[in-house]
Structures are given as structure tokens and as C-alpha cells.
């Protein structure tokens, strides 16, 4: 394969067992793209005993943090994303190889330092951090950093790496050797006390609030005695065709990007969305936008109040309901954008606190109302059935947030029960029924509901069942926010339901034909259809390459519907500004949009082979009981409108509230999906013919050795 542009050319392998480092040539991994593809193949190559690593805290676990050819470039909303892969901590029925993703500037600085990825094996004999300054790699003692929060850790390392010359503004950086100067600070990825204590709820933090948390990534760092990784570099990115890159950027700006002079561009994400912080509480009056490297949006913020910087999306509201109840009583009503700065300040304080301690806020959000109920019933508190010294009578205050978050991070008091995850902890406390009946909204694999219940938003749950974690892929979720916010606001949508469905299916090559509009029909009579299985196949394969490996931002890509255009057709797949145009301009390859999706298919099949070695079987892929036994009655917007037909075949936006899943129906859908992928429908395992058709004979051989190849035909 020819040498490609966009790559730095080196992957850094850190062996903590021996406190050494090695260089792996990136060209050996070109076919996997970057990001998740790199992580999956590196795990396959470096994990000594995949079948035996049943907990992410095992020293044999391999954790990889990878960029892509887009890292450090100005490809719209793709220059700053970073993928993390490792065996998880805290999932059920077993831990498995999984992924997370974060933004900021880490992957771009890693590229500028001359590296495409870093992969870590083994366990250090004492706390360490990895300090990379261009080609200089050092494993440093971090004993003095153990116990510090993520912000303190990053600031210490940045000051150690580069002393700022205030007069000139240039950092007299690196280690005194003549290997360059820069105006930039080191980019650092760190854990806080939650990761140090190997809590399943521990996450990785870069900057003020860029987090990778689902899957217990922080616990993996902690188990390896790894406090942080720092990169600083003075290099650049070699682009194959800079003119093509600039041309595509200008065309995107002219024909697809938001027109700030128009007030009609009402949309949630995609390229036509306006620049705005993604928060669910009113922002402080004095704040400014912040963005990842190369982003066209700026969905984060920095606040004059001095905290809550880069607290976005769910992290901005994990404690908001408790704050509301504490300040105004349990019956208080709260809009998405409450105008009370008191609520905002306290909510941002709680988000900032979680980021500093390195806590996954998705995992703890559902615990708050659960604890409130138990305390109200006299089952939780000092000397109660669940003994806890936390001041539950002031739950919703900053004081309680401090005590609760520190308990979670240190594994003390109530936090001791959740070191191995929320669902295992709840079950150990004798409250497993609260998961089964939906009191705790954890519908799949011991992970919390993302906010898009699969009883309404079908693809979210289906794609999760077929992979490894809450999929956190907003490819189709644009519909939920755009349609339901318009309904809530009394705004007429400029696009009818059938046209909306058509815009999406036109982008779903090669699995959906442009006239198969039923692939976007979310009606109850279509919930378990074969065409819906192929739709989810597209979601998974598009995501595995274009989002998780090429690292295009989930909030901007795919761009299926674009309200800036009269024809409403987005940039995705377009031969002037589509995903493949950027890839070819940067790397010098000549691939099509569909070629990228085929690469995603191959990456997903390597993932599935790893999961099968870990013990995965079709029987594992099921929802919690309440998804089948209870009808959905709640949406935060408050409708759950999706494109759907009635029995007469008439399209409209119809409310999906009031329905549940059927166990037999889900099993039927799973069989459709397994057949679409070419997997054995009895087990969910890949076949030799399938793997060899994708040049993965060695993977098939490994599965055959342990008797886990799927049946042909």
C-alpha cells in the first residue's frame, strides 16, 4: 500500500510492565483507518489472552487512544476528536472490549508531536505519567500527582512541560534540547480520584470538560498506575491535496453551513446548525464559545463565574433536578432553559465538580432520584438498611454534591457500593428489582438510558444491543430534537415526515435503496422489520468508520438533512463535500463514501470477533425487563414524535409514547440483523466465509480454535 498523507507515521506503544516504549509503524494499520479501527486491531495484536481479560482492571488489558488522518486539520468538526478503546469495567452480563470518544485538542497535539496513536499495556510499579515532547518519550513518576483532581494535574504537567515567556508569548518548552518552541500548552489526558480508586464510574478528562467515561476508562488508567498522558509538539500535518481541502471547505461554508442572518435555521445538529453551547440550563450572561480543534460550531463554553467551563450536554444537568427540588420543592416545574441563575450556577458547579474528580455523570445521574426515594422511605441514611452518613436532607445543595461526588470517587460511604458499577451495586444491595422495573433507567448492558428510549427511538436501542455499549450515535437523533423542539416551540417544520424519511434513506447506501422509505418508518407495525435491521446496519457501519475511526464529530456528521438548502439534502455522501472528499484530500487515497462504510463493516466484524472470544452470544443481547413490560410514558420535550405511517400508509410525525417492546418481536429483529451482517442467527457469531471475504482469515482461524465460528448458510 502506498504511503498515505495525513498520518504522522508512528504509533507509540508504552509497556508499563517494563517501563519501556516502542514505535509501531502506522502503515501497518492503514487499512483500519484510525481511531477505533486502530484500537481494535492493536487490541487484537497486543492483548495476550483476550478470553481471560474479563475485567478492564486486569494488567493485560490494552488501552489505546487514537487520532485519525483528520486530526490537526481543518476538516469541519473532525480535527479534534479522539477515540479510546479498552476492555470495560462495570458492564453486564460481562465486561467486554468497548469504546469511548472525546474532543478538544489532544489528538491534534498528538499528531503535531509526530504520533497517530498511543497504546498502553501492562501496569507500572508505581504511579506514573507519560510525557511526550515531539519524539522524546518519558515515563515520569506521578506519586506527587496521585490524589490531585484532573484540573490540578493538567495544570501541573503543563507548567512542567513549558514555562511561558510572558514577554514573547512563546513557550520555552520541551527539555532544554533544541527540538522546537510553540505558543501552545501541552495537551493532557488525566484521571482524578475516581480513576485512581479504579471506580467503574471513573472517566478520563482532557481540558476542562472533554470526557471519555462510558466503559470505565478512568478505572483502566488507575489500574495501570497511570495518572496522565501529555503531548506537546511542533510539527505539522502533511496534506495530500491542500487545494482540494480548501475548496471543499469553501463549498461547505457557501452551500451547507448555517446562515447567521436567517432566523429560519431551526435545527439541533448537522452542518446547518448554528454555533451554540450544548447545555440544558440557562448559561451565565457572561460566557464565550469554546470548540475542539477545527470545529465549525463551538458547542462548549467558558464562563466568567470561573467554573463550569466546558460543562456541556448531560453534564450540565446531571444535578439540575435535585437543585430544583431543593430550592423550590419537589413540585417545581422546570423548563429546559430555566432563567434562574441560581439553578444554573449550582448545576454548573456540580458538573465542574464531577469533571475535576473524573466521574462519569451519565452513570450517577439516575442514582440521585433513586437515593431520594430510598431516603424518603427510610431505607437509606444513618443506621438505615443502607447505612450512609451523607446529608440526604440537603440533597440538591452544593454541600451534598461535594460529599456525594467524593464518596463516589473514593469508594467510601455510598460510593463503596458502586466501585464495580451502578447495576452490580444496586443488585448487591438487594434492589435489583429497581433495574428490572425501570425505577433505575438502565435498559441495556448495565448502562444508563441516554435519553432516547428504545421503545420510541428504535435504532438507539437496537444499535446498542448489536454492539458493546450505549451507542451514543446521533446519526438519526437529529429528527428527535428538530421535530420535537419545533412542536414544543410552536414552530412549523419546513419538511414533511415522508420527505424527512426520504432525505435520510437516500444517504443509507449500500444497505437501503433510495425508494425504501420504510427504513425510516417508526410505526409500531414496522418495529421488527427486516428493512429496519438494514437501517441499523448502516448506522453501525457508518459510525464505526466515519465517526469512530475517521473521527468526524457525532454532532455534525452525518449531514443527512440540511435546512440551509432548498432541496434539504445534506452534505453526507456528496461528491463535492461529502465525507470521502475530505478523506481523499487529506490522505491521497481515492475511496468512495460507500468504501468508507465497507471499512466500518470490517471494523465492526473485528469487534464482534473480540466480543465472541470474550463470551458473547445472541442470548446476551436483550433489554431490561421494563422495556418489554412497561409502556413508555415520558419524553423530556415532552413528545416523542418520529416519522411513521398509519395503517393506511399515510406519513406523519406520530408520537411514540404509550408503547413497549415485545420480546418475540425483538428476537425476530435480531435474526434479521444477524442475517444482514452474515452472522450465524443462532449465535450471533461470524462465519469463516464472511471473515475471509474481508481478508480476515487469521481472525477466523482464532475463532475456530476455540469452537466459536458461526455456522455457514
CATH of region 458-706: 1.10.599.10
- In 16-148, at which residue ranges do the beta strands (DSSP E only) sit? 20-25, 63-66, 82-87, 97-102, 117-121, 128-133, 136-141
Assigned CATH for 270-417: 1.10.569
Pull the grid cell for residue 247.
475548496
| Domain ranges across the chain | 10-232, 270-417, 458-706
3-class state of residue 3 by DSSP: coil
Report the interhelical angle of 579-587 vs 242-255 (nearest 10°): 160
Give the model's pLDDT for residue 336.
47
pLDDT in tens, 432-489: 999 999 999 999 999 999 999 999 999 999 999 999 999 999 999 999 999 998 898 8
Residue 455 phi, psi (nearest 5): -70, -20
pLDDT at res. 587: 99
Q: What is the CATH number of domain 10-232?
A: 3.60.9.10
Helices and strands (H, E) in the chain, number of each type: 23, 20
Note the pLDDT tens digit of each residue in 352-387.
999 999 999 999 999 999 999 999 999 999 999 999
User: Nearest 5 degrees, angle CA 609-CA 612-CA 617?
Assistant: 135
Residue 638 pairs in a beta bridge with: none
SS3 for 265?
coil
Residue 368 burial by CB count (10 A; 0-12/13-18/19+): exposed, middle or buried? buried
List Cα–Cα distances, 661 to 457, 518, 525, 543, 630, in angstroms.
11, 19, 12, 25, 8
Q: Is residue 698 classed exposed, middle or buried when 0-12, 13-18 and 19+ CB atoms within 10 A define those classes? A: exposed
Residue 195 confidence (pLDDT) above 80? yes
**Residue pair 413/390 in contact by the 8 Å Cβ criterion:** yes
Question: Which H, E and C letters describe 404-453, residue by residue?
Answer: HHHHHHHCCHHHHHHCCCHHHHHHHCCCCHHHHCCCCCCCECCECCCCCC
Confidence of residue 171 (pLDDT cuts 50, 70, 90): low
Enumerate residues 6+ apart whose C-beta is below 8 A from 136.
Answer: 174, 175, 177, 179
- Say which residues have a Cβ less than 8 Å from residue 609's Cβ, sequence separation at least 6: 44, 686, 691, 696, 699, 702, 703
**Which three cell numbers mark 556?**
455534525
- In tens, the pLDDT along 527-578 reads 999 999 999 999 999 999 999 999 999 989 999 999 889 999 999 999 999 9
> What's residue 268's pLDDT?
60
Q: Assign 3-state DSSP to the chain and report helix, strand, coil percentages, each to 5.
A: 35, 15, 50
Write the DSSP string, 444-479: BTTB---SS-TTTSHHHHHHHHTSSS-----TTTHH
pLDDT given for residue 347 in this prediction: 86
Residues 6+ apart with CB under 8 A from 166: none
Distance of CA 520 to the CA centre of its chain: 24
Q: Which residue has the higher pLDDT, 173 or 232?
A: 232
pLDDT value, residue 302: 78
Q: Are 439 and 427 in contact (CB under 8 A)?
A: no
pLDDT band at 262 (very low <50, low <70, confident <90, very high): low
Q: Residue 264 pLDDT more than 60?
A: no
447: phi > 0 → left, psi -120 to 50 → alpha, else beta; which? Answer: beta
Amino acid at each position: 500500500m502506498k504511503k498515505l498523507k495525513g498520518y504522522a507515521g508512528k504509533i507509540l506503544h508504552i509497556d508499563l510492565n517494563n517501563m519501556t516504549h516502542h514505535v509501531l509503524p502506522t502503515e501497518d494499520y492503514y487499512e483500519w483507518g484510525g481511531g477505533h479501527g486502530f484500537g481494535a486491531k492493536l487490541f487484537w495484536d497486543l492483548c495476550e489472552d483476550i478470553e481471560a481479560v474479563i475485567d478492564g482492571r486486569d494488567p493485560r488489558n490494552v488501552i489505546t487512544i487514537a487520532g485519525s488522518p483528520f486530526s490537526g486539520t481543518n476538516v469541519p468538526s473532525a480535527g479534534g476528536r479522539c477515540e479510546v478503546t479498552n476492555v470495560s469495567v462495570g458492564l453486564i452480563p460481562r465486561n467486554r472490549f468497548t469504546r469511548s470518544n472525546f474532543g478538544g485538542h489532544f489528538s491534534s497535539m498528538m499528531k503535531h508531536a509526530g504520533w497517530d496513536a498511543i497504546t498502553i499495556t501492562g501496569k507500572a510499579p508505581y504511579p506514573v505519567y507519560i510525557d511526550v515532547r515531539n519524539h522524546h518519550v518519558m515515563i515520569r513518576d506521578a506519586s506527587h500527582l496521585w490524589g490531585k483532581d484532573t484540573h490540578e494535574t493538567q495544570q501541573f504537567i503543563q507548567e512542567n512541560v513549558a514555562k511561558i515567556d510572558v514577554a514573547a508569548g512563546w513557550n520555552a518548552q520541551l527539555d532544554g534540547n533544541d527540538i522546537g518552541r510553540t505558543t501552545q500548552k501541552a495537551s493532557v489526558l488525566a484521571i482524578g480520584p475516581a480513576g485512581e480508586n479504579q471506580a467503574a464510574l471513573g472517566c478520563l478528562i482532557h481540558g476542562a470538560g472533554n470526557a471519555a467515561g462510558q466503559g470505565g476508562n478512568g478505572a483502566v488508567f488507575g489500574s495501570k498506575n497511570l495518572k496522565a498522558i501529555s503531548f506537546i509538539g511542533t510539527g505539522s500535518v502533511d496534506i495530500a491535496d491542500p487545494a482540494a481541502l480548501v475548496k471543499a471547505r469553501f463549498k461547505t461554508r457557501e452551500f451547507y453551513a448555517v446562515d447567521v442572518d436567517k432566523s429560519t435555521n431551526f435545527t439541533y445538529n448537522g452542518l446547518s446548525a448554528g454555533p451554540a453551547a450544548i447545555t440544558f440550563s440557562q448559561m451565565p450572561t457572561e460566557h464565550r464559545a469554546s470548540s475542539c480543534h477545527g470545529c465549525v460550531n463551538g458547542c462548549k463554553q467558558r464562563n466568567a463565574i470561573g467554573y463550569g467551563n466546558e460543562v456541556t450536554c448531560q453534564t450540565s444537568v446531571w444535578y439540575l433536578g435535585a437543585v430544583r427540588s431543593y430550592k423550590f420543592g419537589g413540585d417545581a416545574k422546570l423548563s429546559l432553559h430555566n432563567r434562574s441563575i441560581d439553578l444554573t450556577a449550582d448545576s454548573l458547579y456540580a458538573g465542574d465538580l464531577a469533571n475535576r474528580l473524573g466521574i462519569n455523570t451519565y452513570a450517577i445521574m439516575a442514582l440521585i432520584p433513586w437515593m431520594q426515594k430510598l431516603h424518603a422511605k427510610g431505607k437509606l441514611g444513618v443506621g438505615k438498611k443502607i447505612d450512609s452518613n451523607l446529608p440526604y436532607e440537603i440533597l440538591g445543595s452544593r454541600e451534598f454534591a461535594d460529599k456525594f461526588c467524593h464518596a463516589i470517587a473514593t469508594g467510601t460511604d455510598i460510593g463503596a457500593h458502586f466501585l464495580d458499577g451502578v447495576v452490580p451495586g444496586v443488585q448487591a444491595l438487594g434492589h435489583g428489582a429497581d433495574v428490572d422495573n425501570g425505577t433505575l433507567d438502565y435498559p441495556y448492558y448495565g448502562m444508563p438510558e441516554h435519553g432516547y428510549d428504545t421503545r420510541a427511538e428504535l435504532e438507539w436501542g437496537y444499535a446498542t444491543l448489536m454492539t458493546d455499549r450505549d451507542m451514543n450515535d446521533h446519526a438519526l437523533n437529529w429528527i428527535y430534537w428538530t421535530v420535537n423542539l419545533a412542536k414544543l416551540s410552536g414552530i412549523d417544520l419546513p419538511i414533511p415526515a415522508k420527505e424527512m424519511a426520504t432525505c435520510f434513506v437516500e444517504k443509507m447506501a449500500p444497505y437501503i435503496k433510495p425508494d425504501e422509505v420504510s427504513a425510516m418508518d417508526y410505526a409500531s407495525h414496522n418495529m421488527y422489520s427486516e428493512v429496519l435491521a438494514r437501517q441499523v446496519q448502516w448506522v453501525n457501519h457508518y459510525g464505526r468508520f466515519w465517526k469512530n475511526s475517521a473521527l468526524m464529530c457525532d454532532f455534525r456528521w452525518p449531514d443527512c438533512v440540511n435546512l440551509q438548502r432548498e432541496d434539504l439534502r445534506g452534505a453526507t455522501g456528496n461528491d463535492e463535500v461529502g465525507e470521502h472528499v475530505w478523506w481523499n484530500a487529506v490522505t491521497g487515497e481515492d475511496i468512495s463514501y460507500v468504501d468508507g462504510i465497507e471499512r466500518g463493516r470490517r471494523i465492526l466484524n473485528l469487534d464482534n470477533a473480540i466480543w465472541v472470544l470474550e463470551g458473547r452470544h445472541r442470548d446476551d443481547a436483550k433489554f431490561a425487563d421494563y422495556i418489554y413490560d412497561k409502556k413508555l410514558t415520558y419524553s423530556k420535550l415532552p413528545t416523542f414524535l418520529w416519522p411513521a405511517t398509519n395503517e393506511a400508509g399515510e406519513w406523519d410525525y406520530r408520537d411514540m409514547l404509550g408503547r413497549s417492546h415485545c420480546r418475540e418481536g425483538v428476537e425476530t429483529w435480531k435474526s434479521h440483523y444477524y442475517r444482514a451482517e452474515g452472522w450465524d442467527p443462532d449465535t450471533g457469531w461470524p462465519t469463516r466465509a464472511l471473515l475471509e471475504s474481508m481478508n480476515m482469515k487469521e481472525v477466523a482461524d482464532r475463532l475456530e480454535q476455540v469452537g466459536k465460528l458461526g455456522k455457514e448458510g
